[in-house]
Amino acid sequence: GYKGSIMKGTLKEDGSVAGAEVVVPKMFYNGQADGGLYVFGNWIYYTSPSTDTNSEGTVLTSRQVFFRTKTDGTDTQQIAAVAANTYEYLFTPSGLFYYDSSNGQIVKVAYSESAVGASSVIAEDVTDVMFVKDGEYAYGESRSSDMFFYTKAGDTKNDADVLYGNRVYACNYEGKSVLLIDNTTYVPEGAVAAQYQYTVT
């Protein structure tokens, strides 16, 4: 038997699987409840524990590596490696996004059909992220509904010199963000802002 490998087969009319074979002979695992497999075009996108070792020879399994393998099993490419298997992430047709909560950054690693590109920080000082994973996707098409959301701390202080509220952003799969809500969104003209303190969660 096989444990942890990603396999493919032909789904028959009666619901059984015929001709099952290993496509990815790696352990598929991540520490995120929302994690999963993604398939875009000719690639399967997944996560696996690191097989690197430290100076004492201990395998660093708590680290996470993002991979993609062709659906026919002929090529595997590493996309990124991160310090823990609890990073929130989202694979999209154009790149991997992940949230490093230890330094408040959202990172994108772009890829094309043939190659993995460089990583870039697309947002800093992030306090939380919501990757939308239950939407409908159309490979090769770009739609305004394909985006995720994140928050940053507010940038206005109240009378007690304390930052209040927060800012909510939407980001598309190209890594371009737009501010949706900030500390002034719900403040009527001429009102005292401190009476309209909102924190969006």
Residue 122, pLDDT score: 97
Q: Are 70 and 39 in contact (CB under 8 A)?
A: no
Q: What share of the chain in percent tops pLDDT 90?
A: 39
Residue 157, pLDDT score: 67
Q: Is the pLDDT of residue 71 over 70?
A: yes
Amino acid (1-letter code) at residue 50: S
d(CA 152, CA 104): 9
d(CA 125, CA 112): 28
Residue 158, pLDDT score: 64
Q: Is the pLDDT of residue 56 over 90?
A: no
Strands 95-100 and 76-82: unpaired
Mean of pLDDT values over 188-194: 75
Q: Is the pLDDT of residue 1 over 70?
A: no
Q: In which band, very low, low, confident or very high, does the pLDDT at 185 lie, cut at 50, 70 and 90?
A: confident
Residue 4, pLDDT score: 64
Q: What is the pTM of this model?
A: 0.79
Q: Is the pLDDT of residue 143 over 60?
A: no
d(CA 61, CA 58): 9
Q: Is the pLDDT of residue 159 over 90?
A: no
136 compared with 85, residue with greater pLDDT: 85
The candidate with the shortest Cα–Cα distance to 88, out of 7, 6, 33, 13, is: 33
Write the pLDDT tens digit of every residue in 14-23.
Answer: 988 887 777 7
The Cβ of residue 94 has, within 10 Å, a number of other Cβ atoms equal to 18
Residue that is written with structure tokens 């930052």 in the block: 163
Write the pLDDT tens digit of every residue in 88-113.
Answer: 999 999 999 999 999 999 999 999 99
Mean of pLDDT values over 33-50: 82
Most confident of 41-45, 131-135, 159-163: 41-45
Exposed / middle / buried, residue 169 (Cβ in 10 Å: 0-12, 13-18, 19+): buried
Strands 126-130 and 116-123: unpaired
Please state, rounded to an integer, the average pLDDT across all residues of the chain: 81
